[in-house]
Structure 1
Amino acid sequence: MNTQENTRRFFFACSLLLFAGATVCVDAKIVFRVDSDIYVMNDDGTGRRRLTHNITTKDNYPRWSPDGTKIAFTRYMDKDKIQTSSELFLMNADGTELQRLTHNNVTDHYPSWFPDGTKIAFMSERSGRDEVHVLDLVSDAVTQLTGLADDNRNGGSVAPDWSPDGTQLTFERFLRIRAGLSPKNIYVMSADGQHQRPLLPNPAAGEPLTLRFFPRWSADGQRILFAEVQWLQDGQLEKLIVQRIGRGKQEITDINDRLGNNWVGSGACWMEKDRAILFSLMLKDKAPPNYNLYRYTFATRGLRRITREPSDEDWPDWVEGALSVSPQGKLPTQWGEIKHAAQMKQSR
């Protein structure tokens, strides 16, 4: 590897971890997708700013870095063939300094930042099946975490999310069955891929088809938010659920009480130190149907619509603000070690 490439990596590590005057910060709290592009805006829906301008490509699933200065996201390289190839990209919070992170011509998707900003967990099919991998942003090394053991029930693992202390990951797993559609469940594992276990019991044979999607760890590390869809005889039922680790689950019934079973979700995340959640939904009886962003507050049980545009607006992510450590204050940045490692690579 040449000196120029090593220098690029060194300064890339600096930009991730060194919070100095040159660091790019914006006031926006919400990043989300509008049709094919990435936007940011304030909590109340004001201050909308478009960050990407796609013509032949399509962006999806944006995630704030822990310090709020960068955004990782998925880019489908051909918007007309979104099942064939997607890669991970990175940019500053204002849309500048776009950088491609993966070059595989396969599906790389669902980025999730390690709490100190030095690694990204993601789903990739580079092994022949959708599995969870981790990308080291300093060395570019990729490590596969799931799909390594001989498990005839594992039908693939996607949508990883780090715990706030960086010791665990939660993710979705397809469960193989002999016939019919495969159910999905939420799993948890150690950061090295060990001790993979279901968060809830796997759906049993004979139960309604159940799929659990897009888990997100709470800031206090005690709960996991996810969506659950069940196919019943009278139609599809979707719910947002909060599962307390080692304890019971809380179904957020207020959404269904107000909207019935007339909605379909597309991504949810925590906000305001776990006091609220931000998510997108589409009303199935609306003509034409499209996704918009909503906020649910636990204390008041209030549901508020944030966007009202005719476009599809989904996959939101929220950031606490620019910090010098992880958002939960539990995992200090190991800047000295990372800087030393980058300098050693540069000198080779």
Structure 2
Amino acid sequence: MTAPAVGLDSQRVLIAMPGCEAATMRLATPLSAELGHAAVSHFPDGESYVRLCTPVHGAEVAIVCTLDHPDEKLLPLLWLAIAAREGGARRVGLIAPYLPYMRQDVIFKAGEIRAAEHFAALLNPVFDWLVTVDPHLHRISHLSNVYCIPTAAVEAAPAIAAWIQTHVQAPFLIGPDEESRQWVAHVAGICQAPWAALTKTRHSAWHVEIAELPNIPTQSVPVLVDDIISTGRTMLAAADLLRRAGQPKPVCVGVHAVFADNAYSQLCAASAEVVTCDTIPHPSNQIALTEPLVDAISRIFDLPMPSSKQMLV
């Protein structure tokens, strides 16, 4: 069935990549945007096929694609952005609640690459702007260090803090490693709760060790807070340390529910509850970020056509 044409009074069109339909629908109404339609599939030989079904000439277009499993999503995403551009879109933006490759931000061994900047180099030429949620900014201090298009990074901390205040009595927030310090400190500041960050030694993606715990007040509920839960090994090591110290099972809170292999089931067994934001669709999603995403997207939609690269702060 042919999708309806963009109306004369329509300025914004949101297009969902496969798997992002629900998120796109949540954003469309508050953004006063039309839901666009695209076909994304593969030929028998594995090559990606896209077809933009909604006319977008003169429209502000945004593609919604959370980029977990990025290698399989990237090429169709690029093709769809090019289709929108060739279709006459005024601008083509990317709404990527989870932005990958940001942890590959430094070269540790000869022959490696700083993949974060090279991934950005693939997106920069085809998109006019980017909105994401809590990109892993550690050794890269700001997205402008690698992205030369306007960007907005939504903070999940206020929504996480609100969830903790509603669901956890007497929380003691714990960042399971030094890289989590920035997130746990921000959330704890909003909650006005005590907090600490642990020290981790990573031997491999699947083997980490964590130093001793801080003193946790009696009757407090430990809450582990991190941005990305991937293998879950960092949180599992922290949960095990709490168990051996006679502490109750922690509540585990993450921004991005990556959950490689059986990480989720293992973490559920080791914790009182596992909760994530809705940046990646997952059964653990309990913290909605639609409202702050809409605010950030609205601001970037309203930017004038730039004469040069810009950055939102």
TM-score (ref. length: structure 1): 0.29
Report the structure, 1 or 2, having the larger helix content.
Answer: 2
Report the structure, 1 or 2, having the larger strand content.
Answer: 1
Q: Which has the higher contact order (CA 8 A, sep 6+)?
A: 1
